[in-house]
């Protein structure tokens, strides 16, 4: 439900303004805008946005009924699985402070996992073999992390812990419970204290229990409501965000999300050795899920190859009403957030979302 997304190569196009204009004077098309336009005009996405820290590009509308323009980089949206990068960073803060160890058995902190030989490291890396809980939940009513974990534990492990890689929101559901115990204040409060406040991410928040709507300026979201799939594509702006928890519950803005990536990889949240562990203890996942060749998954973050060389580090996510991509590139190529106002995790829509990320990070910065 909160899958990650990746960047792949995008072809950069140029336009010629009339036959009499010399080729040297031709104005190149904006490759990022082109991908956003393809999402809207070709794929039926209601609205799309890309923000690279300086320029906000948009396509489509924020609301299909009113036709109002797409929101800017201060508009709020659900981070979906980008939340996992925040959760992983919080876990590594606890590791850096000596409160937990990567090779601790998760059962030390989560009683439901006492009989499972699963470590904190395996939860972070998605190598625990825990089945997916999100597809088993009745989203028409509230539930607790303990109840959700119990649903997953009734299923057979996907593989023996540590022997394979398999994306599962259950890993980060369990990590939220680890933070609860190890921090003594709950994962939401701990993330606020160690990440949101130090980086002044004032527009990022955890939804409150029972809170369905988004606070502040935002676009409407459209998709298949998991509680009523028979209704087809509907407005799904209102969702039980609190229930998505440590695996997908945060709400933020493109400005704040870019600031998080810059803060994390700029060394403002963790000691250097902890950040190196997140990015060097990785698993090759190219060709799996939505990842292209050369991709690697670390601790709540993934490295994605760029068409111009190097990689970017980020995560990404999906919900019925939005898809998110982006992160921070190596080589000083900058940071970008791209999101759509409907699910865009397969086919041409995924290719165009990935293309917008790649174009934003590969286009020469002026």
> What's the rounded mean pLDDT across residues 297-319?
96
The confidence score (pLDDT) of residue 13 equals 23
Place of tokens 């490291």: 121
The closest alpha carbon to 176, from 247, 83, 89, belongs to 247
Tens digit of each residue's pLDDT (9 = 90 or more) over 51-107:
999 999 999 999 999 999 999 999 999 999 999 999 999 999 999 999 999 999 999
Calpha distance 166→179 (Å, rounded): 22
> What's the rounded mean pLDDT across residues 199-210?
98
Q: How many CB atoms lie within 10 A of CB 35?
A: 25
The closest alpha carbon to 221, from 144, 297, 324, 300, belongs to 324
The confidence score (pLDDT) of residue 364 equals 58
pLDDT tops 90 at residue 332 = yes
Calpha distance 133→112 (Å, rounded): 14
Binned at pLDDT 50, 70 and 90, residue 352 comes out as very high
Place of tokens 């023996």: 160
> Can you read off the two tokens belonging to residue 210?
């029972």
Instruction: Quote the DSSP letter at residue 119.
Output: B
How many residues are given for the chain? 366
Enter the pTM of the model. Answer: 0.92
Place of tokens 């190598």: 127
Calpha distance 133→151 (Å, rounded): 6
The 3-state secondary structure of 267-330, one letter per residue: CCCCCHHHHHHHHHCCEECCCCCCCCCCCEECCCCEEEECCCCCEEEECCEEECCEEEEEEEEC
β-sheet bridge partners, residue 312: 304, 329
> What's the rounded mean pLDDT across residues 173-179?
98
What are the backbone angles phi and psi of residue 151, rounded to the nearest 5°?
-60, -45
């Amino acid at each position: 439900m909160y899958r990650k997304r990746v960047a792949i190569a995008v072809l950069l196009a140029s336009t010629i303004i009339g036959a009499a204009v010399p080729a040297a004077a031709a104005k190149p098309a904006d490759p990022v805008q082109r991908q956003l336009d393809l999402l809207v005009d070709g794929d039926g996405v209601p609205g799309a946005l890309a923000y690279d820290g300086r320029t906000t590009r948009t396509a489509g509308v924020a609301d299909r009924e009113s036709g109002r323009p797409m929101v800017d980089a201060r508009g709020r949206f659900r981070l979906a699985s980008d939340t996992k990068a925040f959760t992983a960073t919080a876990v590594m803060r606890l590791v850096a402070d000596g409160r937990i160890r990567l090779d601790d058995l998760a059962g030390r902190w989560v009683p439901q996992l006492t009989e499972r030989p699963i470590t904190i490291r395996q939860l972070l890396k998605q190598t625990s073999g825990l089945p997916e809980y999100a597809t088993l939940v009745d989203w028409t009513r509230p539930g607790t992390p303990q109840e959700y974990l119990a649903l997953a534990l009734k299923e057979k492990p996907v593989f023996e812990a540590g022997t394979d890689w398999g994306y599962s929101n259950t890993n980060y559901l369990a990590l939220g419970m680890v933070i609860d115990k190890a921090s003594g204040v709950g994962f939401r409060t701990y993330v606020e204290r160690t990440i949101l406040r130090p980086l002044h991410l004032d527009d990022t928040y955890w939804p409150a229990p029972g809170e369905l709507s988004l606070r502040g300026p935002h676009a409407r979201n459209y998709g298949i409501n998991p509680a009523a799939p028979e209704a087809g594509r509907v407005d799904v702006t209102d969702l039980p965000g609190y229930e998505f928890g440590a695996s997908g519950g945060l709400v933020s803005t493109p400005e704040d999300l870019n600031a998080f990536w810059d803060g994390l990889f700029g060394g403002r949240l963790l000691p250097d050795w902890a950040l190196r562990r997140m990015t060097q203890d990785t698993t090759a996942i190219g060709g799996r899920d939505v990842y292209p060749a050369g991709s690697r998954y670390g601790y709540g973050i993934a490295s994605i190859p760029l068409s111009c060389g190097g990689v970017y580090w980020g995560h990404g996510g999906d919900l019925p009403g939005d898809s998110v991509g982006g992160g921070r590139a190596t080589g000083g190529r900058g940071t970008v957030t791209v999101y759509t106002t409907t699910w865009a995790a397969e086919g041409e829509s995924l290719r165009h979302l990935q293309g917008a990320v790649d174009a934003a990070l590969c286009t020469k910065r002026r």
